[in-house]
Amino acid sequence: MSESLDLTLKVWRQASHDAQGAFRTYQLSGISIDMSFLEMLDVLNEHLINRGEEPVAFDHDCREGICGTCGVVINGQPHGPDTKTTTCQLHMRRFKNGDTIVIEPWRASSFPVVKDLVVDRSAFDRIMQAGGYVSVNTGNAPDANAVLVPGRDQEKAMDAAACIGCGACVAACKNASAMLFVSAKVSQLAILPQGKPERAERVLKMVARMDEENFGSCTNTYECEAACPAAISVTNIARLNREYFKAMLVSDPV
């Protein structure tokens, strides 16, 4: 239990969006294998502060894998080597003594670097506002049981709704495509009867906004699926394509 690691970290440091960035190398010793990855970064930052250096900026909040705030590329893999895991859930026992760990921010034109490992993912919010909702005003709802949702459909919708919006799909994709993120929301609301009235308009608007935000296109490499901590399936991308095709051909022009 008390095993510990000596590590070399190569961390991307960039003072601000406009500043030139570069890797800096840091040595850490005595890192407990029971630490989470972010706790290891906390330790690094304590060292840096004690030495009078600026701590490394990284985004994090809930530290239990649900808020989607954290996320860095660790040795070339978004959220590190484990599957279905966020950076905050990754633990140091996954590394070996003497390892060198390269830590980079998400790289995508649509996710500009704010500082060090922190990026701006507000493009996701703008895609959501284009159509990632059901238009129902407060107070307008019928009794919840008035609209039946077969258990199996609910399960599928929930699978898609589990997306935490962390952006690992974009980070993993060689084209920095946001298709997995967009398709998860499109799928959730296309499967549920509550989302059906707007489904054609929704998919057209969300795809248009995704393109405006300069995400790349999907070339069916499926790296996104492998990197997704919430296990969102690329089946949702097929469903988005299908929804888009139908919307394009049979809906009224928007």
Partner 1 sequence: MNWLVRALSSSVGKKFVMAITGLLLCGFLVVHLAGNFLLYVSPEAYNEYAHKLHSQEQLLMVAEVGLFALFIFHIYLAFSLTRDNQQARNVSYARRETKIEVPGPTRRISNWMMATGFVVLGFLILHLADFKFEARSFDYEGKEPFDKAVMILKNPVTMGLYLAGSIALWVHLTHGFSSAFQSLGLLHPKIKCTIEWIGIIFAGAIGIGFGSFVVWAMIQ
Partner 2 sequence: MSTVSTTTLNSRVPSGPMDQRWENRKQELKLVNPANKRKYNIIIVGTGLAGASAASSLAELGYNVKSFCLQDSPRRAHSIAAQGGINAAKNYPNDGDSVWRLFYDTVKGGDFRARESNVYRLAYLSNLIIDQCAAQGVPFAREYGGTLANRSFGGAQVSRTFYARGQTGQQLLLGAYSSMMRQVEAGRVKLFPRKEMMDLVVVDGVARGIVTRDLVTGKYESFAADAVLLCTGGYGNVYYLSTNAKNCNVTAAWRCYKRGAYFANPCFTQIHPTCIPTSGHYQSKLTLMSESLRNDGRVWVPKQQNDPRSPDQIPHEERDYFLERRYPAFGNLVPRDVASRAAKERCDAGFGVGTTKMAVYLDFQDAIGRLGEETVRARYGNLFDMYQKITDDNPYKVPMRIYPAVHYTMGGLWVDYHLQSTVPGLFVLGEANFSDHGANRLGASALMQGLADGYFIIPYTVGDHLASTSPGKITTEHPAFAATMADAVGRAEQIMAVNGSRSVDSIHRELGSLMWENVGMSRTAEGLTATIDQIRRLRHEFWKNVKVMGSGEEFNQNLEHAGRLADFLEFAELLTNDALNRNESCGGHFRAEYQAENEALRDDENYCYAAAWEFNGVDQAPQLHKEPLTFEEVHLTTRSYK
Strands 100-104 and 22-32: unpaired
Strands 22-32 and 4-13: antiparallel
Site string for partner 2, 144-183 (x = CB under 8 A): xx-xxxxxx-x--xx--xx-xx------------------
Q: How far is the CB of 125 from partner 1 (least distance, A)?
A: 18
Q: Is 103 exposed, middle or buried (0-12, 13-18, 19+ CB in 10 A)?
A: buried
Q: Of the candidates 5, 9, 73, 130, which one interacts with partner 2 according to CB under 8 A?
A: 130
3-class secondary-structure state, position 138: coil
> How many residues sit in the footprint of partner 2 (CB under 8 A)?
81
Q: Is residue 46 within 8 Å of 31, Cβ to Cβ?
A: no
Question: Which two tokens mark 144?
Answer: 């919840």
**Binding region for partner 1 (CB under 8 A):** 10, 12, 23, 73, 75-78, 81, 83, 102, 104, 107-110, 172, 174-177, 204, 207-208, 210-211, 214-223, 226-227, 234-235, 237-245, 248, 253
93 lies in the binding site for partner 2 (CB under 8 A): yes
Q: Which does 176 bind (CB under 5 to 8 A by kind): partner 1, partner 2, none?
A: partner 1
140 lies in the binding site for partner 2 (CB under 8 A): yes
Residue 29's H or E segment, with its range, is: strand 22-32
